[in-house]
Structure 1
Amino acid sequence: MYKAETRGISVTVTPRFVEEESSPDESRYFFAYTVEITNNGRDKVQLRSRHWRIVDGRGALQEVRGAGVVGKQPVLGPGESFSYTSGCPLPTPNGTMEGTYTMATADGESFEAAIPAFSLDVPHVRRVMH
C-alpha cells in the first residue's frame, strides 16, 4: 500500500498483478490498482481530473490525462471517501506509476493532490532498473 496526503486529501493506492489478463509470451503484463481518496480536511472538494505518469521497465514514459476517474467526478465532504479500481497494461514485467488529481473546493479554488509513486511488479521476476 502506498499513501500520500495533500491539503487534507489522502490518496492510498494498492496495486496487484493480474495474471489472468497477462500474456508474458506477448510482452503483455496487466496490473490493477485500487485507489482510495479520503477527505481529511474541513472543506468539501470535487475531483475534476487526473494526470498519470506511467514508466515501464525500459524507462519509457507514458502520460495520461483525463476528466475524473472511472467516468466520475466525485464530490467528497469532510470525512468522506471514494474508492475505485482501474488497470494498466505494460510491455514489461515491472514499472511505476504516479500522478496528481486536480481537486476543486466549493469556492472554486483548484489544487493538485498527489498520487503516490507506486511499483508495478510481477511476483517472482527480478526487477531491472534502466
Structure 2
Amino acid sequence: MVSFKNTLKDGVSLQIFKKTKNDLSVNYTKKDKDFLRRKQIGSSLKSTFDDIKQIISKQLSVEEDKIQTDSNFTKDLGADSLDLVELIMALEEKFSITISDQDALKINTVQDAIDFIEKNKKQDA
C-alpha cells in the first residue's frame, strides 16, 4: 500500500492510500471542525487528474510534478487571461463537455476543474 499525506490550506489534511492499481482511498480531515470524510475513489478520478495535469503542463509549460490539486491557475501556475481561455477550451475538447463563461470564472484551481469535469461527465453519461 502506497501512502501520500499533505496539509493543504485552511487546516485541511489530505491523505491518499493506493491499495491496488485502480483503487485509491482518500481521507480529508478538517482540523478546525474535527471533520473527517472518507471517500473511496477509483481510476476515473485519478485518470481525470492525470489528463488535466497533461493539459495544464502543455498549455502553461509547467512540469507535471509541480501541478497539485490545490494549485491556483494564476497564482501558482502563472496563467494569464488568455492562458485560462485556452485551458478551458482544451478541457472542453478533451472531456467532450461545455463550460459556460459563468462556470469558467469559478474554475480557479485544479481541484475546481476536476470537480466540474467529474460532475458534468456523470450528467452526460
- What is the TM-score normalised by the length of structure 2? 0.33
- The structure richer in strand per residue is 1
- The structure richer in helix per residue is 2
Tell me: higher relative CO, structure 1 or 2? Use CA pairs within 8 A at least 6 residues apart: 1
- What is the TM-score normalised by the length of structure 1? 0.32
